[in-house]
Amino acid sequence: MAESDKNSIDRRDFLKGVAAGAVAAASPGTMQAQQDHGHQVVPSDLTLRVKALESLLVEKGLVDPAALDALVDTMEHKVGPRNGARVVARAWVDADYKKRLLADAPAAIAELGYRSGQGDHMIVVENGPRVHNLVVCTLCSCYPWPVLGLPPVWYKSAPYRSRAVIDPRGILKEFGTQLADEVEVRVWDSTAELRYLVLPERPAGSERMTEEQLAALVTRDAMIGVARVAPPARAGDR
């Protein structure tokens, strides 16, 4: 890998230059406006760097701004955990659908009209009184986009990625999810091209609810497996 070592060193030196240039171009006050994402610091020169890069790519005809806008709109408004919640609610009310979902998730999810990259190879894993499933990607940020949208910052962060596999019960406790010792925890480390969705347990007290009402109870966190779906009275806690 001598070649890639050489490239990475060249690149680092080069990027240092780019960053220095961008900082120099920013007004003196902008460094104050740093955002705090957990313990990571995001310098304010990023907006300038992205603007410069995009305008260059547009000028060279390499990207189409209308296509970029359409993709942002899709990720912000068309995919997201509401899609997954509809899948879960359908599985709760329709035993045949649930059977299909657990046997062939991509086909069952497509029945509800959801399909896009990172979701072709979906596996749905079911939580119950004896088994609790939890999803992570320890190597990067793999996540089932069509049914959950883009992952939250914490899912991509070092604390979650490092501990989900070695201390899943500790992670669950941090999310307020207490498990009895006799419950089996299955952690799905999605480091290949398979994407996992947890089918949470239907909460007590939801027996008379419609599919639509049930979907409103289902949270993103429950479909990652860090939380349970709260009973109706407590819904909205998280």
Partner 1 sequence: MNGVHDMGGQQGMGPVQYERDEPVFHAWWESRVYVLNRALRAWRKWNLDTDRHAIELLAPVDYLRMSYYERWLNRLETHVVKYGLVTKEELESGKAAPGSAKATPALTLATSAGWLSRGIPSSDDPRVRPSFKVGQRVRARNINPLGHTRLPRYARGKTGVVRRDHGVYAFPDTNAHFQREQRQHVYSVQFTASELWGDGASRRDSVYLDMWDDYLERV
Give catalytic residue positions. Answer: 137, 140-142
Taking the complex as a whole, how short is the minimal distance between the CB of residue 215 and partner 1, in angstroms? 18
Of residues 151 through 210, those in contact with partner 1 by CB under 8 A are 152-154, 156-166, 168-169, 171, 174-175, 181-194
Whole-angstrom Cα distance, residue 223 to residue 83? 11
Q: Which is nearer to partner 1, 20 or 211 (CB)?
A: 20
Please count the residues of this chain forming the interface with partner 1, following the rule CB under 8 A.
Answer: 94
Of residues 1 through 30, those in contact with partner 1 by CB under 8 A are 1, 4, 7-8, 11-12, 14-15, 17-18, 21
Count of H-run helices and E-run strands, the chain: 11, 6
- Residue 39 identity: H
Q: Which is nearer to partner 1, 93 or 150 (CB)?
A: 150
| 124 Rama sector, left if φ>0, alpha if ψ -120 to 50, beta otherwise | beta
In this structure, the dihedral spanned by the alpha carbons of residues 41, 42, 45 and 47, taken in order and rounded to 10 degrees, is -170
Taking the complex as a whole, how short is the minimal distance between the CB of residue 107 and partner 1, in angstroms? 13
Calculate helix-pair angle for 45-59, 65-73, nearest 10 degrees.
130
Taking the complex as a whole, how short is the minimal distance between the CB of residue 202 and partner 1, in angstroms? 23
> Does 115 contact partner 1 by CB under 8 A?
yes
DSSP single-letter state for residue 9: H
Contact window for partner 1 (CB under 8 A) among 96-104, 115-123, 197-205, 207-215:
115-123
Of residues 25 through 54, those in contact with partner 1 by CB under 8 A are 35, 37-42, 46-47, 49-54
Query: Which helix (H) or strand (E) element contains residue 223?
Result: helix 220-224
Of 33, 103, 107, 139, which lies in the binding site for partner 1, with binding defined by CB under 8 A? 139
Of 13, 27, 32, 67, which lies in the binding site for partner 1, with binding defined by CB under 8 A? 67
Tokens linked to 193:
């091209």
Q: Which is nearer to partner 1, 194 or 216 (CB)?
A: 194
Of 6, 31, 33, 75, which lies in the binding site for partner 1, with binding defined by CB under 8 A? 75
The residue among 85, 190, 88, 175 whose CA lies nearest residue 135 is 190
Tokens linked to 176:
């307020």
The contact pattern for partner 1, residues 86-105, with x = CB under 8 A and - = no contact, is --------------------
Calculate helix-pair angle for 95-103, 81-93, nearest 10 degrees.
120
- CA 40 to centroid of chain Cα atoms: 19
